[in-house]
Structure 1
């Protein structure tokens, strides 16, 4: 099929697809799921590093902020997914579970993990049905996201928590909420996603929200040693106009797809236009 064309992702990333490479892989015989809670987020990072080092899980998602999974207590949480031959999948999940237990992880129900993986709905990471997450609520979410080494998650998470603690009064004043501080881990690294929510009906919340995102990004990309995951609003005004007429087309497309400017305000269409 012809898959070439324009791509605009929910994070605000955009690009031109010029070619597609197909890779055929055999569907794994089995999928196994696990969930562990930790009372210290650093132990969760150590457990994730151990799971990666032993290739014990195919995918790991770590939760380091935002709402806790419904019905669970702890400081951080790991969702584990193993896809492999049936006998091997069982052995790998046992190894991953042993690694988590060695770092004082508590096993819990993994139905949310399974539903996240099979239904492709982010909300299940917190044992929550999609309705509350995807309802038409007046909040927008200017993310900060990027790549970081797995051990580096300790510093990045600590940095965000420090910034939040320093700004508790402003969080309260402007009604700011933390949707998630989540890390998606593969074989040798992590992609950290920091989501904060602001009430889009309030001009003051919008202004402070944009300022806060800039502050978080600046410190994450320096002190936090995070590598940016894409083109951010901070540099977009300098880069995008160089596209000429293509920039005009992208602005019109973004305006049509996102008329309320919810997806990364200022990335393609700046304020006031």
Structure 2
């Protein structure tokens, strides 16, 4: 095999923490969506930054690709080793290294999941709020600049990562950022690596911004006569300065799927799912004011989740929507695509997307983070049906073009990977070449997650 020399050295470094067994390769060649199984040549489980640095240096000497792996929940082929090489699984680098309650910060290794971190923070009164739905690792969330249901209040990973430790393509270890709240000292390298999808370096440590656990939480779900009315209610809520913690949208198809699979009795109409954080009094008042606004736009069937168990059930249902939609068409696979547009153009974007999906004869429930203009189409495709896959790719392209026409972006949270790399020139033009120049400067031999995000000719 072309990478045998590198793998021989890595075996000396890691011993049985470097695997070439078929089950391990298969596990790290799978993904959550439509890409074919793509096993790497080997899987490595480092335990320290020093081991990651030595691993990368060995791979650099031999021109062996290196792909970082968190929980494998990304949707655009980010962690697949299309060029072979070594997948670096950070499962054994999963510790909370330090919690600084006074600064509301935590220092963690990349392999810990967001749920794992919040479990450790429970007694401190603090939390890490970024919630992409899946129990993703924090290293993977930083690499893809993840966001999710709570971004409307707490921001994305870009807003909540203060500093990083990163192993570069030649094995050097650098630190970016600091524990300070702000800095004017040079280029924002932390911002550069957050969202770089493992193409510029491997993150081995993160300093994160924490937030206080709310005293009270109020949540509800309500139906609207159409999506335009739901969006108008959201815009009016935002303009009224009501601090929403989450405000999610599901279309009538998803509502029907919830009823069938979760035993709910939602009207088969578009729905908003909302949550408010604060004191007992403020959360109740925010919920009341939202209810008044929603009723003014035709909101009906309010179902208030008054207990922790009810709220958890509501959000488990929302986070499980992807798998529920897949199950609704037995034997199907999903192509999940997302865009983000200014909220004032969201209803228009959804209406045109629904028309495209119908025009091309596909099934595609729509849901998303309506509070920040981000929505997802879950295209349900028959496995092995090349015609449906081709039509789904056409929907994706039309969706990207629509996002740019409406002043938005081709992806609000899923990232680029391989799936959307062909659309990057549409959004960025010459700036995409600037990204490629940065890639060549930091990774001249192209060993870090090759083939993702940018197009680089060696």
Aligned residue in 1 for 2:408: 226
> In the TM superposition, what is the alpha-carbon distance from 1:110 to its structure 2 partner?
4.5
> In the TM superposition, what is the alpha-carbon distance from 1:24 to its structure 2 partner?
3.0
Aligned residue in 2 for 1:259: none
- Are 2:342 and 2:406, in contact at CA under 8 Å, matched by a contact in 1? no
Aligned residue in 2 for 1:162: 355
Instruction: Please state whether the residue corresponding to 2:211 is helix, strand or coil.
Output: coil
> In the TM superposition, what is the alpha-carbon distance from 1:139 to its structure 2 partner?
2.2
> In the TM superposition, what is the alpha-carbon distance from 1:201 to its structure 2 partner?
2.6
Larger radius of gyration: 2
Q: Deviations over 1:133-181 (max 9, x none)?
A: 569953222222122121111210121123234x1xx41xxxx321x32
Measured in 1, the distance between the counterparts of 2:225 and 2:423 equals 42
User: Aligned Cα RMSD in Å?
Assistant: 3.7
Aligned residue in 1 for 2:319: 122
Measured in 1, the distance between the counterparts of 2:332 and 2:225 equals 30
Aligned residue in 2 for 1:11: 75
Aligned residue in 2 for 1:177: 363
Measured in 2, the distance between the counterparts of 1:193 and 1:94 equals 29
TM-score, with length taken from structure 2? 0.44
* 1:245 corresponds to which of 439, 443, 447: 447
Aligned residue in 1 for 2:36: none
> In the TM superposition, what is the alpha-carbon distance from 1:42 to its structure 2 partner?
1.0
Measured in 2, the distance between the counterparts of 1:82 and 1:42 equals 22
Is 1:97–2:291 an aligned residue pair? yes
TM-score, with length taken from structure 1? 0.70
> In the TM superposition, what is the alpha-carbon distance from 1:56 to its structure 2 partner?
4.3
Measured in 2, the distance between the counterparts of 1:65 and 1:83 equals 27
Is 1:34–2:215 an aligned residue pair? no
- Are 1:82 and 1:92, in contact at CA under 8 Å, matched by a contact in 2? yes
Q: Deviations over 1:20-65 (max 9, x none)?
A: 2322322111111111101122111010112222224221001246
- Are 2:276 and 2:286, in contact at CA under 8 Å, matched by a contact in 1? yes
Is 1:212–2:395 an aligned residue pair? yes
Q: 1:149 to 1:99 in 2, by over 3 A?
A: same
Q: Name the count of aligned residue pairs.
A: 236
Instruction: Please state whether the residue corresponding to 2:223 is helix, strand or coil.
Output: strand
Instruction: Please state whether the residue corresponding to 2:344 is helix, strand or coil.
Output: coil
Aligned residue in 1 for 2:11: none
* 2:378 corresponds to which of 195, 217, 224: 195
> In the TM superposition, what is the alpha-carbon distance from 1:113 to its structure 2 partner?
5.6
Choose between structure 1 and 2 for higher RCO, CA contacts under 8 A separated by at least 6 residues.
Answer: 1
